[in-house]
Amino acid sequence: MDTTQQEEEKKPQGEPQVELHKPYRPWLGRVDRYIIRTFLSTFIFSIILILSIAVVFDVNAKISDFLKPEVPFSKILFHYYLNFIPYYANMFSPLFVFISVIFFTSNLAANTEIVAMLASGMSFRRLLRPYMVAAGIIALVTYLLNGFIIPSGNRVRLAFEDAYLRSKTEKYTSNIQIAIEKDVYLYIKEYESQSKVAYSMAVDRFKGRSLVARMTSDEAHYDTLDRWHLRDFHIRRFAGLKATDTVGYDLDTNLRIRPSDFLVNEKDVEKMRNDQLDSYIARQKERGASNTKLFQIELHKRYAAIFSAFILTFIGAVLSSKKMKNGLGINLVIGFALCLGYIVATTVTAQFSNVGMMAPWLAAWLPNISFVLIASLLWRKAPQ
Q: Which of 205, 226, 258 is the last residue of a domain?
A: 258
Which positions ≥6 away from 59 have C-beta within 8 Å? Answer: 66
Residue 12 lies in a domain: no
Which residues have CB under 8 Å from 190's CB, separation 6+?
Answer: 172, 173, 174, 198, 199, 200
Cα separations (Å) of 351 from 3, 48, 209, 270?
84, 30, 32, 17
Residue 233 shares a structural domain with residue 349: no
Task: Please check whether residues 324 and 218 belong to one and the same domain.
Answer: no
Higher pLDDT, 27 or 189: 189
User: Buried (b) or exposed (e) across 165-189, using 16+ Cβ within 10 A?
Assistant: eeebeeeebeebebbbeebbbbebe
Select the more confidently predicted residue: 131 or 294: 131
Residues 195-206 have a mean pLDDT of 91
- Residues 160 and 283 reside in one and the same domain: yes
Q: What is the pLDDT of residue 288?
A: 65
Residue that wins the pLDDT comparison between 248 and 182:
248
Query: What is the tens place of the pLDDT at every residue in 258-312?
Result: 887 777 777 778 888 999 899 888 887 777 666 688 889 999 999 999 999 999 9
> Backbone phi, then psi, for 237, in 5-degree steps?
-110, 135
pTM, two decimal places: 0.75
136-144 contacts: CB < 8 A, separation 24 or more? 136/309, 136/310, 137/36, 137/40, 138/40, 138/43, 138/93, 138/97, 138/309, 139/306, 139/307, 139/309, 139/310, 142/90, 142/93, 142/305, 142/306, 142/309, 143/302, 143/306
Asked, for residue 11, whether it belongs to a domain, the answer is no
End residue of a domain, out of 222, 237, 258:
258
Last residue of a domain, one of 258, 293, 328: 258
pLDDT at 1 (0 to 100): 47
Band (pLDDT 50/70/90 cuts) for residue 168 is very low
pLDDT for residue 19: 53
Regarding whether 367 and 320 lie in a shared domain, the answer is yes
Per-residue pLDDT, 6: 52
pLDDT-derived band at 179 (thresholds 50, 70, 90) equals confident
Asked if residue 209 is part of any domain, the answer here is yes
- Pairing type for strands 172-181 and 210-222 reads unpaired
Residues 276, 370, single domain; the answer is yes
pLDDT in the model for residue 115? 84
Are 71 and 134 in the same domain?
yes
Residues 113 and 181 in one domain: no
Query: Is 20 part of a structural domain of the chain?
Result: no
Say what the pLDDT of residue 321 is: 83
Query: Distance between CA atoms of 359 and 352, rounded to whole angstroms?
Result: 9
164 assigned to some structural domain = yes
Same domain membership, residue 212 and residue 72: no
Domain that includes residue 244, residue range: 172-258
At residue 328, the pLDDT reads 67
**pLDDT (mean) for 302-330:** 83
Under a CB-based contact definition with an 8 Å cutoff, are residues 335 and 99 in contact? yes
pLDDT of residue 178: 82
Question: Is the domain of 187 the same as that of 311?
Answer: no
Which of 124-128, 129-133, 376-380 has the least mean pLDDT? 376-380
CA 153 to chain centre: 15
In a domain, 93, yes or no: yes
Number of domains in the chain: 2
Average pLDDT over the chain, rounded to an integer: 84
Are residues 176 and 165 part of one domain? no
Q: Do residues 221 and 228 make contact, with C-beta atoms less than 8 angstroms apart?
A: yes
Residues 249 and 280 in one domain: no
Give the pLDDT mean for 126-151: 93
102 within some domain: yes
| pLDDT tens per residue, range 339-362 | 888 888 888 998 888 877 889 999
State whether 82 and 230 are in the same domain: no
Residue 21 is assigned to a structural domain of this protein: no
C-alpha dihedral (111, 114, 120, 126), degrees to nearest 10: 160
